[in-house]
Structure 1
Amino acid sequence: MKLYASSLGLLVILLAAACSGPTGQTRLEVDPCLCIGCGECEEVCPYGAVEVVDGEAVIDPALCHFCLRCVEECPEGAIY
């Protein structure tokens, strides 16, 4: 029984880590002061999680898979 509980605890920890970003954050943010609304992040997102609205990138956390392609593509470093 102890082995099962230990394995279950490890599974919970692994699932929690898989549902958060690389630094433990649970969603990506866009700095509106840095975002220029170029749309490069929107184009590169394979999940359709990024949309430029009124000249600013908006990330839908329900669709975001933390692939970080938008972070890498952003020329201004506005997504973190």
Structure 2
Amino acid sequence: MHRFLVVIEKADNNYSTYSPDLPGCVATGSTQEEAKKNIYEAIKMHVQGMLEDNLPIPESESFAEYVAIAEKSSTSS
């Protein structure tokens, strides 16, 4: 089994998705759920094509993390 990080971004009128570990493998959808379904299918097809071409499947090296930054108080002294 292969696991790949997927990034989902809100666009103007839809959602865009991609996997940093599979350059060129992208998908869109009108909802987050549709975008997730579409990227799953795109990754499946992408990996199948790599296998058919005898190319190595890359190991996932990407990860995601949120960073929280506290807002400074805007009160005057």
The TM tier, using the shorter chain, reads under 0.3
Scaled by the length of structure 2, the TM-score of the pair is 0.27
Structure with higher RCO (Cα < 8 A, 6+ apart): 1
Scaled by the length of structure 1, the TM-score of the pair is 0.26
Which structure's residues are more often helix, by fraction?
1
Which structure's residues are more often strand, by fraction?
2
